[in-house]
Amino acid sequence: MKLREIAHSRTGDKGDTSNISVIAYDKAHYPLLREQVTAERIKALFAGIVDGDVARYELPNIGALNFVMRKALRGGVTRSLALDAHGKGLSSALLDIDLENMTEPKVLP
């Protein structure tokens, strides 16, 4: 199952740093995000795109993770040669990763 089935995401930029939130639609899935969507995995996913460190912050209250990726935007929006200089599209790429041992999403009433 794709991460997109149980979580949504938004990208933000500041200088050469990109942050991507990963938010569970249903907080019951937060432990699964925490277990499978690791900083190491995101660093590997974006190899060749993100040159710096990837840090992960946890927000159990809202069932979300926040990834902060350094050297991710080719110098940042004000000088990058990239078409998507903000890196807005990175969140969509992240939601495409596969999750393991996942049964159908539980929908709360």
Partner 1 sequence: MRTVRIGSGAGYSGDRIEPAVELCAKGDIQYLGFECLAERTIALAQQERMQDPAAGFDPLLEQRMSAVLKICKSKGIKIITNMGATNPGAAARKTAEIAKRLGIGRLSVAAVIGDDVLDVCKQHNSPLLEIGGRMNDLGNRILSANAYLGAAPIAEALAAGADVVITGRVSDPALFLAPLIREFGWAMDDWDRLGKGTLAGHLLECAGQITGGYFADPGYKDVAGLGRLGFPIGEVSEDGTLLVTKVPGSGGIVTEATCKEQLLYEVHDPACYLQPDVVADFSHVTIEEVGRDSVRVQGGRGAPRTATLKVSVGYIDGYIGEGQISYAGPGALERGRLALNVVRERLSLTGVRTTETRFDVIGFDSLHGTVLPRGREPYEVRIRVVGRSDSMAEAVRIGNEVETLYTNGPAGGGGAWKSAREVVAVASVLLPRELVTPTVQFLEACR
When binding is defined by CB under 8 A, the residue of 49, 51, 102, 105 that contacts partner 1 is 49
CA dihedral sign, ordered 85, 86, 92, 93: positive
C-beta atoms surrounding 90 within 10 Å = 25
Instruction: Report the candidate in 63, 58, 51, 62 with the shortest Cα–Cα distance to residue 18.
Output: 51
Residues 63-82 touching partner 1, rule: CB under 8 A, are 64, 66, 68, 75-79, 81-82
The region that residue 75 occupies, defined by phi over 0 for left and psi between -120 and 50 for alpha, beta otherwise, is: left
Asked if 85 touches partner 1 (CB under 8 A), the answer is no
Residue 77 to residue 86: CA distance in whole angstroms: 5
Query: With contacts defined by CB under 8 A, how many residues of the chain interact with partner 1?
Result: 40
Q: Shortest gap between Cβ of 43 and partner 1 (angstroms)? A: 12
Q: Shortest gap between Cβ of 64 and partner 1 (angstroms)? A: 6
Per CB under 8 A, residues contacting partner 1 are 4, 8-10, 12-17, 19, 21, 23, 25, 45-49, 55, 57, 59, 61-62, 64, 66, 68, 75-79, 81-84, 89-90, 93, 96
